[in-house]
């Protein structure tokens, strides 16, 4: 027994191979809290960015220090707004001093969320360009051309009025007013003498001028004779073809009617030297392009040409 008591006790210690000591799990809790806080922060930023101005203003009012009329804080949504001027405190007791309250966001709660409202607006500088110098006076040739165009227009307007008055004032010709059309252009006045359904100016298929047409042409010529401008006469027909095969077509008919008109106008006092063209164009220039046989396509065009002096 004594030998066992005095026996040497040998303790062997072995170093563990690989791995590390356990450090605990407290850091995981802290990291989870941090990530939760970050997620809540970014969620708040997203809500603020997606909200409209009215909602942001209500949220700002909610966090703005306010007091009710009684001096105590208010929980009602309708009371969440400043009730006094900035820097003044009210309550159940008398004011004891000039204590300044926080004013950030009270005048405009949107300033808390929108930095653009806090920043001073950029100064806008308006510069006015110098007024352009008046254009140089037009050269004499241009001024003369403008004056000449105005003079021609005035003469054409006056001539058209004179012809219209001459026809309408004559009781024997007033019923033929519908057979006359006056067309004014920049450099000419054209008198269209045309047929109507109930009245033809020329005998059908002939260049013979009817008595009524002669009176009308004489009245027009009487006014034109007072001028010295060149005159053009163009005869027109409809698209009706002649039944006889003798070579006499609408071309000859329109030219003959134009010459018959020329002779009548010369009888009214127009000098023959003023006629610079007398021609017939048959049915190639109809007024009524939808109906080539329309009576208004049978007409005489008397064109008074105003030339620049």
Q: How would you write the pLDDT of the chain (309 residues) with one tens digit per residue?
A: 455 555 545 454 545 555 555 556 778 888 888 999 999 998 888 887 777 777 777 777 776 655 544 555 444 444 444 444 555 444 444 454 555 555 555 566 556 555 655 566 556 555 555 666 665 566 788 888 888 888 888 888 888 888 888 888 888 887 888 888 888 887 888 999 988 876 788 877 888 888 888 999 999 999 999 888 899 999 999 988 876 677 888 999 999 999 999 999 999 999 999 999 999 999 999 999 999 999 899 999 999 988 755
Contact yes or no for 91/97 (Cβ under 8 A)? no
- Sheet containing 180-184: give its strands across: 180-184, 188-194, 299-305, 231-236, 275-280
User: Using N-to-C axis directions, what is the helix angle for 140-169 and 211-224, rounded to 10°?
Assistant: 150
CA-CA distance, 144 to 152, in Å (whole number)?
12
Beta bridge partners of 268: none
Contact yes or no for 219/173 (Cβ under 8 A)? yes
Whole-angstrom Cα Rg for the chain: 53
Helices (H), the chain: 2-5, 26-50, 53-63, 115-118, 140-169, 211-224, 250-267
Torsion angle of alpha carbons 265, 271, 272, 277, nearest 10°? Answer: -70
pLDDT confidence of residue 172:
81
Q: Considering the entire predicted model, what is its pTM?
A: 0.54
Contact yes or no for 286/209 (Cβ under 8 A)? no
Contact yes or no for 176/196 (Cβ under 8 A)? no
Contact yes or no for 253/298 (Cβ under 8 A)? no
pLDDT confidence of residue 110:
57
Beta bridge partners of 199: 196
| The pairing of beta strand 231-236 with beta strand 275-280 | parallel
Q: Which of 58, 84, 87, 60 is nearest to 70 (CA)?
A: 84
CA-CA distance, 233 to 224, in Å (whole number)?
13
Count of helix runs (H) and strand runs (E) in the chain: 7, 5
Tell me the two tokens of residue 146: 């403008």
Map tokens 């009684």 to a residue.
Answer: 70
CA-CA distance, 259 to 278, in Å (whole number)?
7
> Using CA of residue 205, residue 209, residue 215, residue 219, what is the dihedral sign?
positive
Nearest-5° angle of CA 170, CA 161, CA 164?
Answer: 30
Tell me the two tokens of residue 231: 């005159």
SS3 of residue 299 by DSSP: strand
pLDDT confidence of residue 308:
58
Q: Which domains does the chain have, with CATH numbers?
A: 32-118 (no CATH), 140-305 (3.30.1330.60)
Q: Which of 71, 98, 97 is nearest to 84 (CA)?
A: 71
Beta bridge partners of 275: 231
């Amino acid at each position: 027994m004594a030998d066992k008591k005095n026996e040497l006790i040998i303790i062997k210690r072995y170093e563990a191979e690989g791995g590390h000591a356990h450090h605990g799990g407290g850091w995981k809790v802290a990291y989870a809290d941090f990530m939760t806080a970050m997620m809540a922060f970014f969620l708040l930023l997203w809500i603020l960015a997606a909200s409209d101005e009215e909602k942001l203003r209500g949220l700002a009012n909610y966090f703005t220090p306010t007091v009710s009329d009684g001096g105590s804080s208010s929980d009602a949504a309708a009371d969440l707004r400043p009730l006094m001027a900035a820097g003044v405190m009210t309550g159940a007791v008398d004011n004891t001093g000039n204590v300044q309250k926080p004013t950030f966001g009270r005048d405009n709660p949107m300033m808390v969320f929108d930095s653009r409202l806090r920043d001073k607006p950029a100064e806008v500088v308006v510069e006015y360009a110098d007024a352009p110098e008046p254009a140089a006076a037009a050269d004499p040739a241009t001024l003369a051309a403008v004056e000449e165009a105005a003079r021609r227009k005035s003469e054409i307007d006056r001539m058209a009025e004179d012809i219209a008055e001459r026809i309408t004032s004559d009781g024997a010709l007033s019923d033929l007013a519908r057979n006359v059309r006056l067309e004014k252009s920049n450099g000419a006045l054209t008198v269209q003498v045309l047929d109507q359904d109930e009245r033809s100016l020329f005998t059908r298929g002939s260049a013979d001028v009817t008595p009524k047409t002669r009176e009308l042409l004489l009245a027009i010529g009487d006014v034109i004779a007072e001028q010295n401008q060149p005159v053009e006469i163009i005869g027109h027909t409809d698209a009706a073809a002649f039944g006889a095969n003798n070579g006499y077509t609408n071309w000859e008919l329109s030219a003959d009617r134009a010459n018959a008109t020329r002779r009548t106008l010369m009888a009214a006092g127009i000098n023959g030297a003023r006629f610079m063209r007398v021609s017939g164009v048959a049915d190639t220039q109809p007024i009524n392009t939808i109906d080539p046989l329309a009576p208004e396509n049978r007409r005489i065009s008397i064109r008074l040409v105003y030339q620049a002096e």
